[in-house]
Amino acid sequence: MSLDWPRLQRALAIETERGFCNLQGNTYRFNEYLHQALTQAPLQQLPPQVRDRWQETAAAYARYDDLSPSQRQHLVVTTRQLLHDVHQQLTRSAPRPRPLDQGLKTLHGIGEQLRCVVGDRTAAQLAKLGLYTVADLIYYFPRDHIDYARQVPIRQLQAGETVTLVGQVRRCKCFTSPRNAKLTILEIILQDRTGQIRLTRFYAGARYAQRGWQEQQKRLYAPQTLVAASGLVKQTKYGLTLEEPELEVLEHPGAEIDSLTIGRIVPIYPLTEGVSPDVIRRAVARVLPLVQGYPDPLPQALCQHHQLIPLDTALRYIHFPPDQTQLSLARRRLIFDEFFYLQLGLLQRRRQQQQQVSVPLKPQGELIEQFYQRLPFQLTGAQQRVVAEILADLERPIPMNRLLQGDVGSGKTVVAVIALLAAVQSGYQGALMAPTEVLAEQHYRKLFEWLTPLHVPVELLTGSVRTAKRRQILDQLATGELPVLVGTHALIQEGVRFQRLGLVVIDEQHRFGVAQRAKLQAKGVLPHVLTMTATPIPRTLALTLHGDLEVSQIDELPPGRRPIQTTILGRGDRCCAYDLIRREVAQGRQAYIILPLVEESEKLDLKSAIAEHQRLQTEIFPNFRVGLLHGRMASSEKDATIQAFAQGELDILVATTVVEVGVDVPNATVMLIEHAERFGLSQLHQLRGRVGRGAQQSYCLLLLNSARNDAAKQRLNVLAQSQDGFFIAEMDLRLRGPGEVLGTRQSGLPDFALASLVEDQDCLEAARSAASELIAQDPELRNYPLLQAVLQQRRDRLLETMMN
């Protein structure tokens, strides 16, 4: 079948991780993707006994929005099991793998079924977590560890520590709570030669309330019985105790503690309803011996150079480490693997791209010279450096694949125009794609202003373009009469055909999926590609997301730009903010007021753009013209509002983050951001970039609306003290993590099981260096067949999210 089984399972796994919220992807919502994928599967290739279930499941995703959270969970779990079962049935007739492949599959692929190792009952529970094979379970890494390995006397206990105690039972009581008939309490007084401690455990459920079970506990923990107890030391009104302690009866003093939770470093796994921690720990302990002795895909010399422990050792110690040192070594090895395979795949892809043949473009010519002569300003040194890098790429007979990073207002558009002119003067066409109509129209206006005097036609194609105009644009594009086309997603529609597409420019590239970008590139024959972003990306993120690209940075703003005064305000300072807006507007300037929501929310105490616009117009600024802009407005309404603001017909624009990119009004000098604590630093920096685009002093006011705002104020101080977008992005990465920096809808970030782009930067650099050396020595990995096979299997999983 043509189904992408790993991607379907990955989508289901992500939906489970996000709490069955019907996640929004780049193109589809979760339920739309599942419904479409299952509906389009060829039924005749399915086993006959599952066809009805398959169709029912596909239909259920069309009603996903109407299901309760528990119904959604049930549907997702049963879908994962259905996909797994069908995939197994379809692959049973596949050729028997060679021993080497079988070893790989046990570790990295299909592997042995869990029910063959842990039994049907445990396997059914683990299936709720999407674990079906030995490999699934081995690579289901703990999210944390608790260290119960330290054994201390009772007298030396300190609150907040995790410890193990060994002592004799002095007294034991087990009884039903007088307040709750379904709650049973086990209370043990444990003593050693230094003191005594009261330990309490609670058991909820009718079976624990039975007299027989309670008497059994009293016999198990009879006086003088030697017991080991592990847990977190907690201070109570009765003194120190262990919170929900783990208990084990010992045969004699000095006896070895035979437990998966007591007296050792205990793994803590992600759980779901109906699966207890003990079930996972026992299952992992059962399968780990199967890992012993498997061949290590990484070359021995590489492991020795980077001081990496063997893979089988790392897999055993990540689950049940003998001590903290071995746990650190296991984590480092497995984190290195995650980064190494990703970088190896990216570098191989870059090498493959560099072996492709494209058309060289002319970096020198009349059009570019005329453009330089007509520019009313000089390019900055950074712009000149980046232009030289791009033109050198375009001159080569291999397709350029370069990312252009530049802070807000650094002048990326003018660099893109020079690249487009290189294509036009070489006899080719250029396309510039932007994620929103607002941004596409802004680019079109700039290009129209710059290219018309050079007699280079340029047109705009968006979803709002009328049929007659659209037909005219498409005809001119197909014949080659139209050399430059600016647009939105409309550029990748089937009816759009270029005669000779030589260069593709994609702005705010992180808002497009790789598949969408590839569709535009497919409009030509291996065209050169320049992607741009005004969202500065820290180096670790750039290596992870764009390790297969060349990267250029415009790290210099045009001369004459005045730093934007950024001030953090509390709830009591709103009047001061309004006074500043009044003063600036009275002097003929304009202001933005940014709000996080469009309409009132019952769940969040946030200001609504619609309600606040009415209040501001009638109560606060009755003498000024106040406009409203938000994402739910029709395109024509948004365009009219932006145009009115740009032409000075509005004094104040109340807006959501729709103005983050694409609104260029040099006369605007004030930006007031309500609930600033709810935005990330990078997004606030983007918003701040909407002012300060003219010669006048500009102001950004960050208004905190929470009463307890010390932590938020400390975070926002980074923005108040720096205008450097790359520094701000780096701090944002450290404070909030990569997912939030890129935005919740960003799908380009690989899903690492252990690695952190914040804490493991050194390991990423080491893995990148190791991958580069290996690719330089053996680009096809012919001398490393095991490594090559594992890379091929990991490629889909690690790079899959980057291809959505």
Residue 153 token pair: 């006397």
Q: What is the CATH number of domain 366-396+411-533?
A: 3.40.50.300
Max mean pLDDT range (313-322, 533-542, 631-640)? 313-322
Distance from C-alpha of 424 to C-alpha of 186, rounded to nearest angstrom: 82
The rounded Cα 671 to chain-centroid distance in angstroms is 29
The domain made up of 145-268 is a member of CATH 2.40.50.140: yes
Would you tell me which CATH number, out of the four given (3.30.1510.10, 1.10.357.10, 3.40.50.300, 3.40.50.980), belongs to the domain 565-722? Answer: 3.40.50.300
Using 50, 70 and 90 to split pLDDT, how confident is the model at 513? low
Residue 208: pLDDT above 80?
yes
- Sheet of 484-487, strands arranged across: 458-461, 484-487, 429-433, 501-506, 528-533, 401-406, 550-554
Q: Taking residues 14-26, what's their average pLDDT?
A: 72
CA-only gyration radius of the chain, Å = 31
C-alpha closest to that of 158 among 234, 90, 80, 87: 234
Distance from C-alpha of 590 to C-alpha of 580, rounded to nearest angstrom: 11
Return the axis-axis angle of helices 51-62 and 69-91, rounded to nearest 10°: 150
Residue 376: pLDDT above 50?
yes
Residue 81: pLDDT above 60?
yes
Residue 300 gets which letter from DSSP? H
Using 50, 70 and 90 to split pLDDT, how confident is the model at 664? confident
Distance from C-alpha of 593 to C-alpha of 624, rounded to nearest angstrom: 14
What pLDDT, on a 0 to 100 scale, did the predictor assign at position 507?
87
Residue 539: pLDDT above 50?
yes
Pairing of strands 626-629, 550-554: unpaired
Amino acid in position 437: E
C-alpha closest to that of 398 among 346, 354, 351: 354
Domain positions in the chain are: 5-138, 145-268, 366-396+411-533, 565-722
| Contact between residue 230 and residue 163 where contact means Cβ atoms under 8 Å apart | yes
* Residue pLDDT, tens place only, 592-644: 999 877 555 544 445 677 888 899 999 999 999 999 988 777 777 887 888 89
CB atoms within 10 A of CB 571: 11
Residue 472: pLDDT above 90?
yes
DSSP output for 496-547: ---SSEEEEEESSGGGS-HHHHHHHHTTSSS-EEEEEESS---HHHHHHHHT
Residue 29: pLDDT above 70?
yes
The rounded Cα 206 to chain-centroid distance in angstroms is 43
Q: Taking residues 54-71, what's their average pLDDT?
A: 85
Amino acid in position 552: S
Distance from C-alpha of 201 to C-alpha of 215, rounded to nearest angstrom: 15
Residue 22: pLDDT above 90?
no
Judged by average pLDDT, the poorest of 307-316, 352-361, 531-540 is 531-540
> In the chain, count of helices (H) and strands (E)?
29, 20
Distance from C-alpha of 527 to C-alpha of 340, rounded to nearest angstrom: 30
Q: Rounded to two decimals, what is the model's pTM?
A: 0.67
Residue 103: pLDDT above 50?
no
Residue 200: pLDDT above 90?
yes
Residue 779: pLDDT above 50?
yes
DSSP output for 56-104: HHHHHHHTGGGS-HHHHHHHHHHHHHHHHHHHHHHHTTSPPPPHHHHHH
Q: Residue 487: helix, strand or coil by DSSP?
A: strand
Q: Taking residues 737-751, what's their average pLDDT?
A: 53
Higher pLDDT, 746 or 632: 632
Residues forming beta bridges with residue 236, ordered by sequence position:
239
What pLDDT, on a 0 to 100 scale, did the predictor assign at position 67?
85
* Residue pLDDT, tens place only, 43-54: 777 777 788 888
C-alpha closest to that of 441 among 460, 456, 458: 460
Q: What's the chain's length in residues?
A: 804
Q: Is 504 left (phi over 0), alpha (psi -120 to 50) or beta?
A: beta
The rounded Cα 192 to chain-centroid distance in angstroms is 50
Residue 580 gets which letter from DSSP? H
Q: Confirm whether 366-396+411-533 and 565-722 share one CATH topology.
A: yes
The rounded Cα 799 to chain-centroid distance in angstroms is 13
Q: Taking residues 307-317, what's their average pLDDT?
A: 93
What pLDDT, on a 0 to 100 scale, did the predictor assign at position 604?
46
Return the axis-axis angle of helices 681-688 and 725-736, rounded to nearest 10°: 150
C-alpha closest to that of 485 among 443, 518, 525, 517: 443
What pLDDT, on a 0 to 100 scale, did the predictor assign at position 685?
87
What pLDDT, on a 0 to 100 scale, did the predictor assign at position 751?
66
